[in-house]
Amino acid sequence: MKSPICEMFDIEFPMFAFSHCRVVVVAVSKAGGLGVFGAVGHTPVMLEQDLKWIDDHIDGMPYGVDLLVPNSFEGKGSNKTSEDSRDMIPQEYRDIRADVLKQYDVDGEILRGGSEAKNIELASDSRFGKNLRQDGAKKLLEVAFAHPIKLIANALGVPPKWMLDMGKENNVKVAALLGAKEHAIKQVQAGVDILVVSGTEGGGHCGSVSTMVLVPEVKRAIKDYGDIPILAAGGIATGEQMAGVMAMGADGVWCASVFLPTIEAETSEVIKEKMVNATSSQTVRSKSRTGKHSRQLKSAWTDAWESKDAPEPLPMPLQTMISEPALAVVNKQAEIGHEGAKQLATYWVGQGIGLVDETITAGQTVQKLARLSQRSRQSSTRTPTAGQVRPKVRLAGPPRAFLPATD
């Protein structure tokens, strides 16, 4: 199953696994793939602690870090502070937040308004919104490059030039996620090393084109720009799918959702149970969490924001300042068995979760996908054995010209 991407990173399988859980990252890399640590919600101090832990446990195997540095969000390019962003939030959105929680008997009155609610929103922005701004993202990158990472990925948009320059200076490959052919061209023109081509089936921020269409479309679009590796993402949860996208031209896969129900994953038992029991249709592509379209588990929270009476979600990062404090309350209550909170609980996940029906370790997941992918690829290229003859395709006659229909 070797591909150029395996040689580039000295890994056994062309499988990259995104996770917010450092234990999963280590397990994936030790099992032969490459774990990528999602750090957008970290402060520099938190990131330093987690990367040091990874370094101490990964036995020298390669790993990467994923950040989110978007091209546009409310306040980018200005001197706006977190306080300025918070003050831009209409009171209507705080009322909706509290009302949705109240409807499911979850106490969220503290989030309705006042100084305490605004302080909670500021705390949320300090772990997310600040990292979207250049100074915050740079601080995280400086921490990441101080560790022996092999990959840095931007999860939203074309990486800024200073990010690409930092990658080259530190001899670290820069990857970028994209959801459209046009984005792929912009990425390679900017100098990105690896394209993570993510179809609409994927969890988190995603476009509207399916993986099945997007991978070959991007492959064709960038053919004049050299041999840029492509990692297929979006809905990939089985070895057969892995083999399929590589047959379409991908050099490997980028997975996330399939690792969320694993034993080591950071997801709560409530969320793991919802995921294992979910079908592919029980996810929704919604702006309700960050202000940009992202795919997540369908829940009472997402339903509330998708209803005809709900206002349009705020732009990034304002919507995050609304959603994250509420979902933090929800998750805490759900973990202690609150039934209403369980109905509200959600998490970023792709449609491929409908193909996951068991909870195993992250390492076992890597091995299972790799084994089934190899078997599928071998089956598709197997030659007939003695006594077996493949049927020939016979034409009934010479090709007929297509004629216009007549009445």
pLDDT digits (tens, 9 = 90+) for 111-144: 998 888 888 887 776 665 565 666 778 899 999 9
pTM for the model: 0.87
Q: How much is the pLDDT for 123?
A: 78
Cis peptide bond N-terminal to 317, omega within 30: yes
H or E element, residue 38: strand 34-38
Residue at 126: amino acid letter: S
Q: How much is the pLDDT for 382?
A: 58
Q: How much is the pLDDT for 83?
A: 85
Q: How much is the pLDDT for 34?
A: 98
Integer Cα distance of 235 and 351 in angstroms:
5
Question: 211-232, pLDDT tens digit by residue?
Answer: 999 999 999 999 999 999 999 9
Q: How much is the pLDDT for 92?
A: 95
CB contact at 8 A, 13 and 372: no
Domain ranges of the chain: 4-75+133-266+359-378
Integer Cα distance of 241 and 250 in angstroms:
11
Q: HSE-up of 60 (CA within 13 Å, CB side)?
A: 1
The total number of residues written for the chain in this structure? 407
Residue 403, beta-bridge partner list: none
Tell me how many degrees the CA angle 298-303-309 measures, rounded to the nearest 5: 160
| CATH top class, domain 4-75+133-266+359-378 | alpha beta
| Residues of the chain falling short of pLDDT 70 | 1, 70-79, 125-134, 380-407
Integer Cα distance of 245 and 345 in angstroms:
32
The dihedral through the CA atoms of 191, 193, 196, 197 has a sign that is: positive
Burial class (CB in 10 A: 0-12, 13-18, 19+), 322: buried
Integer Cα distance of 71 and 60 in angstroms:
34
